[in-house]
Each structure stands twice: as C-alpha cells, then as structure tokens.
Structure 1
Amino acid sequence: MDVLKAILLVFSLTMLASCQLPYLAKTAYNHLHLMNQRVPISEALKDPSLPEKTKAKLLLAQEASAFSEDILKLEETNNYQEFVQLERDYVSYVLSAAPVYELKTYRWKFPFVGAVPYKGYKTPEEAHVEAKTFDPNEYDTYVRGAGAYSTLGWFDDPILSSMTRYSDYDLVNVIIHETVHATLFIKDHADFNERLATFIGNKGAELFYLKKEGENSKTLARIKDINHDEKIFSAFLSKEIDDLKKWYESHKGRIDKKMKEDRLLEIKNRLKTDVLVKTRIIKYKRFLDEPLNNAKLLSLKTYVYDLSDFEKAYIKLGSDFEKLIEFAKTLEDVDDPEKTLKQFVN
C-alpha cells in the first residue's frame, strides 16, 4: 500500500509546474529508498547484531505509540511497526532562513502542507548548498539535523536508527509529537502545528512515565525538570523575539552588522543572567556557545513560542487530550488558528 501511495504521490508531483519539482522528485525518491530498507520490529528484535540497547528503544517506541493512541486518543495508525537502520546520524538536515535585519520567517511552498518554515535534505552538504543560494547580505540561514519526521499519515512511518539515539524520555516525546502530526496538520500553519505537537509531546510524555513508573519515578522527576525549564525558556524566548522584532522595525534602514551582533549578544547575556539561574538542567547552556542569528531564533520560535495558550486550552477543556485535539481540529477552517486559540482561552 505504501508503494502505491508513493507512486501516486510522485505522479501527482510531476503534474506540478514548479521550480520545486526536482527537489520534490528527489525527496520522493529518497523516501522510497528509505521505505525499501524497512524491517519488521519482530525481525529486528531477533537480529543478533542489533545492540540490546537499540532493541529496548524499539520496544519503548512501540509502547509510546500505543499510549498515544489508547490514552491520548491520537490517530490510530500503523506507524512504528518497522525499523530502518540508517547509514547517517540524522534522517534529514533542515534548512531555515530569514532576512538579515527583519524577524520574518522565509517559507517554502509545497503541495499538501502549504507554506512551511523549513526545507529538509538527505545530507548536510545538500542543505548547505541550498543555504548558499541565499545572499548572506540579505538572509541569515541555519541548518540543523533532524532525527525524526512524520509523513502526516501518507505512509506508515518506521522507527529510524536516528531516533534510537535519543534518551528514553526524548524518544517517547518524539513519538507522541510525530503522532500529533499524523492526527492533525493544518495547511499553511506549520508554526501552530509544531507548537501543538510540542505541547502534547511534553505533557503526554510526562503522563506516560507517571503511568509507567509511578509518582516516585526518577524519570518522571527528570521530565518535570525538563518541562519546568522549557516553560521558562519559552517565556524568555517569546519576549525576546517580540522585543527584537520591534527593535528591527524601529531601527529600519539604520542597522549595521555590528549593531545586530551587539543586540543578539544582549539576548545571550539575558539568558545567562535571567534564565539559566532558574533552570534545573543544563540543556539551554549550549545556547550561549552556539552562533545566533535570525534564522535560528525563528526556528526555535516555530516550536516553543508562547506555549501558554495550549496550556490554558488544555486546562479549560478539563485536562483532556482528546478534547484538546478535537478543539484543535475545529481550527482547520479558520484563517488564523493561533488567534482563534487565544480568543478561546481569554
């Protein structure tokens, strides 16, 4: 069935007169190649060459997938029943871009999903080649590795070896996150989709370990620390992005490279003095050591900007995941899902 879907998908793409056609055709080919490497989990578990640690991850991923469907009431799929051993660390390398002196996400347009703030490639070299097509005097670019992705219900997604490199908690979170995408993905609203998946992934993984290991679980305590820190970072990042956007607008036409570097350094300094002193783990310390530009800021914004409205909606709906998803589905037909969400919770 997946092969038939892929053939139909490739055929539909060839009907498009678009500069994206070569990219889409290559992406479809790469996906078909990946699908041809699938091995049923039952067979992978019998493979003597597969490390026991990896086998444990496969079982955990299946457990998280069942939890997503049975407890969180996400879409029932045939995902995560097969395994693919990749020959690389990440399944894809994702490019983001933004104007040098403006906080405005560059978006690529694709069939079915609409405009999205990222573009994936099989290798880092391909992603960096595409990044170089952007004039560095006009655009910032950012390339990151991605260990997982969702085909949004078009195909039966396998567990990838890149996913088994995650910690147990991160693996459970990612499985839930991607299952949210298979349940709901609103065309042209990738930021809303990613934040919904981030929120449910965080909350769902916490509930998963509460049920699996109990209230005294060390894993659960660690998850609570992680979620505590992400709330702090989300609030910090949201304010910094709002303030930086206003700064760019108020200084339009008068900003040079040095001014921008100084302004971004201020953000890092505030992270150090206002955020890291409140966090319980060291996850966000690496933010200080990595280069920062508009593309990276907006990439983070896509996933963690102001998650508080989802929290409010979740509580308003009785802390019921099924009701939250049903409410989110009603936003498919509105012009601005985030605005409608805010109106609902306020």
Structure 2
Amino acid sequence: MNTVSVVTLAKGRPDHLANVVLGLCRQVQPPAELIVAVMQDQLYVLPEAPFPIRQIVTTGGALPLAAARNAAARTATSDMLVFLDMDCIPAPDLVADYAAGLAELDGLLMGEVMYLPGGATRDGWNFDGFAAVAVRHSDRRGPPPAGIERCNDYRCFWSLNFAMRRATFLAAGGFDERYFGYGGEDTDFGKMLDGKGIAIAWMKGGLAYHQYHRHHMPPIHHLESVVRNAQLFEAKWGYRTMGHWLHAFRLLGLIDDVEGRPIRILRDPDADDLALTGQQSHQPYSNTTTVIRILEERARQRDAGREPGTAGEAQTAQAVA
C-alpha cells in the first residue's frame, strides 16, 4: 500500500489544529505522518496520535504560505501528500479516499469541504453532528456525483483540501515562494500545473469539515498582500488574478486599479468596511458575492442621484446565499 503524509500550515488557533489531529486519529486508513509547517515562533502542544507528528518552523515574511507548503512537502516521506488546511477536520475516509484517487490519477485532486457554524466543535464533537449542521459554500462548486472529474479551468484550484503524489508535486516545482501573505499563490500554482499538462480534478469524497473562525470576504484585512500578489501574478503571467476581490476593493474605494498602471491603495479599511465584510458567528462562512451585490447596488443608487442605503447591510451582507 502506498503511504500518505498529511501536511498542514499553522499559525495561531491551537484548538483548530488539535481537532485536525483528532480527526486524523479517527481515520479508517491512518496517515503515515503529519507534518505541521509552523508559521510562528512557538511550537504547538498537540494530542497524542498513533502516527508521528513533526513540526517544522517556516519563516519568511508574514504568512509565508507558499514556502511553508513546499517545506512541508520536502520534509514528508510518503508517496502521497494530502494538503489540509489547519481549520479542516478530516472525515474518517479522507486519507483512504485520497489514496484511492491518487492511485487512479497522477495529478491534483480536490476533495469536498463543508462549513461548520460557530460552536460546532465545543464540548466534544462527532461526525454525525457535523453532518447535521455543515453547509456547502455557495461560491464554490460541489463534488461530482461519483469518482473523479477533470477540471478544465485552473482557476478552480483551491488549496484548502487537496492531494498529489509527492514526486509529481516536487517535479512540478511546488508553489512560487515569491508569494507571501494572503492571495494569489493558489491560482499561480494551478496555472503552472495546467501549463505542464498536470491534471486538476474534483473528486467525490476526501471530505473535510471547515471550523468556524472570524474572517472577512472580500479579505480587506489582507488588502496589502492581495494587491502585492495580484501585481506579482500580472508581472509573471501578463494579467491580474483575484479580480472579484479587486473589484470589491475598488467599489469600497480602497484601491485604484486602472488597467495599464500599478494598483494604488487609496486608504485603509475602516470600521464600516469591516462591518460590511465581516463574518457573523452564526454564519459558517463569509461570502464575497453578497458583498459585491450590495456595493454595486450602492453604486447604482449614487449614479441615480439617490443616497445609498446602508441600514442592516452589515448584518445581512454575509448571509449564506
């Protein structure tokens, strides 16, 4: 049997990482090891597990996500790699599903992700309880009805929960480590794989449950890194990525992104911006599409000479579509 290493990146949220370990302890096919690329000075205190857990400290700018994934992949010793976000609790079949999928397809496989509301992991948890309350993200497509389905648009790649054969990942060159902070490195990696003819595919199974944490969509709390990484992507590939986020930033008056010249940050996000984009505790995930609809409606009202309405928007912007 080919072995599977699970790799994850971690900064803060120790309870979330502990739940990842507990989820891996309940696998029908346990991983050979867990590699944690730690993006902070202090290592984690983690639950006991029936497999080795190795923590490696990765430094280099704020949130060196690309470098951390590469370092974890190089450290891993198994034939297959499962890349799992530290907020994602793996369902019992996740490792086995990916092992079977990668035996069939030498490419990148993306498993399922369901989102949990706040409080779902308090006072102990079980997978039946998760299944009863978890929801799918309205901005993300679901899995195929069965098996593996090729994705013909590299922009679909999302690093929250995916797997590759280790040799294929390393031969492809891994993530571009010039990206740091939030945004851009996933699309860059997907485009690179597409150019090399390496398949990107959805699969039924490989399910993980995303734990609630406070977030903003669009990610205005990562404004500077999104802008920097969008311009890095443009310099490399000839066009910008993260267009929906940049569109929202422009509607908010945060940036000037006229085509043909560098993006300018006009101001920092304020309390109203944070309220509009912030995820509420009862909402399993944050939602860029809903915020853009509100901002575009505000713009239409201004164009019509009316005062834009804002009452209740902060409470409704992130409602699940």
Common fold by TM > 0.5: no
TM-score normalised to the size of structure 1? Answer: 0.32
Greater share of residues in strand: 2
